[in-house]
Amino acid sequence: MNQTNHSPSNRLTDLSALAIDGLPDHWQAILSKPPASTQLARTVAAIKAELAAKATIYPKDPWRALRLTDLNDAKVVILGQDPYHGPDQAQGLAFSVGSHCKAPPSLRNIFAEISQDPLLQTDSLRPMPDPDLSRWAEQGVLLLNTSLTVRDGQAASHAKLGWQVITDAIISAVAKRQTPTVFMLWGAHAQAKTELIQTHGRQHLILSANHPSPLSARRPPVPFLGCGHFGRANEWLEGRGLRAVRW
């Protein structure tokens, strides 16, 4: 297992970070019931074994997205795949890195799309905004990866630890509410959740496009760059009496 030469600030060192008792009550209620609770116990056991084998695992706070965005506050869901696997990057929010980090390529394309969205007033948007997206999370944007941990230097290394059972329960809980919600699904991995969302509620807006990665952001059938998702989301939210997101 890979291990960095220093101790990254975002390294998971304490299994208590995976406990759910410090989460908002609504999330605790979801994660304390099967199948999420059963799978969480297995996932934590697997991570415990990896830590005992001296693996470097990110991020330090896997539940950060749920800490910052309570179930009742969520009005937009952006699905990622798994955390960034480099030191000091992943902070527990999909596509987000710490303020001290350079924005990764996918996040740079996200900012580029926001800056060119004709439905947004972006005069106050800085040329390169803070790559820490906690400001979005605090406005009700649930930035959820489908896997919440990863080994250093090994993308998707925890994809088979059962995290998707847990995050599917989170996605389902959001979709079951009557609150109109925007789901942004970028790339095939995120779009695989379309049926899950639609099973629980047809009152939501699902926006699909290619992944913002430079490898796919300009490719058909629906290029990410030019998709207009951020402006469309705000227009749709405002049309339902909800406050727009300041992207």
* Region of 200 on the Ramachandran plot (φ > 0 left; ψ -120 to 50 alpha; else beta): alpha
Q: What is the pLDDT of residue 201?
A: 73
pLDDT beyond 50 at 125: no
pLDDT beyond 90 at 200: no
Residues 113 and 228: their CA atoms lie apart, in Å, by 7
Beta strands in the chain (DSSP E): 57-58, 76-80, 141-145, 150-151, 182-186, 205-209
Question: Does the active-site annotation cover 82?
Answer: yes
Residues 209 and 47: their CA atoms lie apart, in Å, by 33
pLDDT beyond 70 at 205: yes
Residues 57 and 47: their CA atoms lie apart, in Å, by 8
pLDDT beyond 60 at 2: no
pLDDT beyond 60 at 22: yes
206 exposed, middle or buried (CB, 10 Å; 0-12, 13-18, 19+)? middle
> Residue 57 — φ and ψ, nearest 5°?
-125, 140
Catalytic residue among 61, 82, 88, 117: 82
pLDDT beyond 60 at 123: no
Q: What is the pLDDT of residue 3?
A: 45
Arithmetic mean of pLDDT, 51-76: 97
Q: DSSP secondary-structure letter at 78?
A: E
Nearest to 82 by CA among 28, 191, 163: 163
Q: What is the pLDDT of residue 4?
A: 43
Arithmetic mean of pLDDT, 96-100: 94
Residues 104 and 112: their CA atoms lie apart, in Å, by 12
Work out the percent of the chain whose per-residue pLDDT is above 70.
94
pLDDT beyond 70 at 1: no
Average pLDDT value over all residues in the chain: 94
pLDDT beyond 60 at 127: no
Work out the percent of the chain whose per-residue pLDDT is above 90.
90
pLDDT beyond 90 at 5: no
Arithmetic mean of pLDDT, 150-163: 97
pLDDT beyond 90 at 17: yes
Tokens of 154: 């090994």
Tokens of 171: 């996605």
| Sign of the torsion formed by the C-alpha atoms of 106, 111, 208 and 138 | positive
Q: What is the pLDDT of residue 202?
A: 80
CA contacts within 13 A on the Cβ side of 11? 17
Q: What is the pLDDT of residue 170?
A: 98
Q: Which of 61-75, 130-144, 190-204, 231-245 has the lowest mean pLDDT?
A: 190-204
